[in-house]
Each structure stands twice: as structure tokens, then as C-alpha cells.
Amino acid sequence: MAITSVGIVGAGQMGNGIAHVFALAGFDVLMTDISQDALAKTVRLVDQNLDRQVSRGKITDEDRKAALGRIRTTPKLTDLGRCDLIIEAATERESVKQAIFDELLPHLRPETILTSNTSSISITRLASRTDRPEKFMGFHFMNPVPVMQLVELIRGIATDDATYQTLLKVVDKLGKTAASAEDFPAFIVNRILMPMINEAVYTLYEGVGNVTSIDESLKLGANHPMGPLELADFIGLDTCLAIMNVLHEGLADTKYRPCPLLTKYVEAGWLGRKTRRGFYDYRGAKPVPTR
């Protein structure tokens, strides 16, 4: 089927980026969130980010205006039922995602494709609780969405080829590159990335290096654009911990055991940039290591 309208559930960091790229690519976007303030903030952020692209010569002002005109918001989840494609981008908790799909199902058209932007949760399991497992996929964008080129496409055990081919075309229209992943815990990117971040936290926990030396070592020694602890703060330490728990529980291998120090930071509410404290303290003029 041809996809022209996209419903996005969740107006957080991922949701606003997804809305941005879809609207810019010519899709009609309808976004919902439990917070009306979050919806208003998303529209402002998309406008600011589009302005930045105009100032850098990547798009025209006409492109910016057209994209903004394609984004609508609603506080009612069920309003998304008429969309061709729905992308769930809510918090990384399976119970929350399942409740969203349960509420949506009675309002969907038979041909509507359901997807989740989950970074680690089983697509097969999420799909099995719906009335359309053959039309359900993982649609995992990287953060920040307007900048990052990759989209992971994850087929559940029941996903049909027509759904997969349709989403391949959508990714192509977005101007991004699709990587196909099997439905195993954390898929490809996070299966490799999160254990690296977790090992960096263990390196800090065991006193092998401090925050600065660990991040500088990976930036200068492995040519990474961000150090692993800086990246963890950018992603959100709660998200990192949630993914490590999925890996640990799903693969039953001790090498995926979350570092106790990562757990401790999350318990303290030091979740990274979004709470202004994590492995760095962001409350001053420049980030300061917390260890």
C-alpha cells in the first residue's frame, strides 16, 4: 500500500525527530502524547530544527513552511486510527507500549501498518498481542533522527513481505538507509553498542579510569565522535539500563549483566542530559565529570 499519512505516538526526543523527517519528506503527520505541553514543545522544536537546516542551506524556507504545515497534534490517541502507518515512540517499557496498541486496535483500518520504535523489546511479542501481527514491524530510528542516516527494520516472526517492502520504500523516501535485523534482543546497533557502554561504566566502577580518561581514550584511540559515557548521557542512562536488562534477561548470558554503578546512577535520578546530571554535570556553563 502507498503510505501518505503517519501517526506518531510520543512527543519526546525521538517522536519530534521522527515527525520532522516524515513531514519534510512529504508525509502528513499526526502526533499524540499524554502531555499537551509536550506536543506544543515538539512543534516548536521541529520549527527550530528546520530553521537550522534553512540557515545551513540544506532546505529552503518553502520546504520549512510546507513541512510545518503537514504536522498536526491531538491529545486523543484514537484519532490516529485513520493513518496509514503508526509509529509508537513512547517510553521504553513494554507494558506502556502494549497499553497503547490495545487502545488503538479498535480504531484502526484493516490495512494500517503498526510499528514500534523500540530499541530492544521483542517485536514478535508486541505483535502477537495485536490483531495484525503480519502488519507489525520494528521501525527503529537513531538519535538524533534528522541527522542519523540509519533505520533498523525488524521483522517479527509473523511479519509478511508486503509490510517489509512497504517500509523499505518509506525509508527510501525519507532519504535514509535501512538495515534489516532479526528479532533478537536489542537487534543490531544496541546489541553491539550497549555492552560497550556498559563495559565503559565497569571500567569507571573498577577504577581503571575516570570519566575524562575513558571518554578521551575512545575518542582519540578509537576515533569515536563521542566517548561512551558522554554518549550514555546523551541516550539516557535509564534507557541504557533498560536495554542491558533486556539483553541480560533475553540472552541469559552474564556478559550482559548491567554494571551496578549504572543502576546506582539511575536510582539517583541522574539520567544524563535530560536531568542535567549523569556521568557529567550539565548544570553549569560546561559539562563537568561527576567521577
Annotated catalytic residues are 119, 140, 152, 190
3-class DSSP string for the chain = CCCCEEEEECCCHHHHHHHHHHHHCCCEEEEECCCHHHHHHHHHHHHHHHHHHHHCCCCCHHHHHHHHHCEEEECCHHHHHHCCEEEECCCCCHHHHHHHHHHHHHHCCCCCEEEECCCCCCHHHHHHCCCCHHHEEEEEECCCCCCCCEEEEEECCCCCHHHHHHHHHHHHHCCCEEEEEECCCCCCHHHHHHHHHHHHHHHHHCCCCCHHHHHHHHHHHCCCCCCHHHHHHHHCHHHHHHHHHHHHHHHCCHHHCCCHHHHHHHHHCCCEHHHCECCEECCCCCCEECC
CB contact at 8 A, 280 and 233 = yes
Give the separation between CA 136 and CA 128, rounded to whole angstroms: 9
CB contact at 8 A, 120 and 192 = no
For residue 8, which phi and psi values (nearest 5 degrees)?
-120, 125
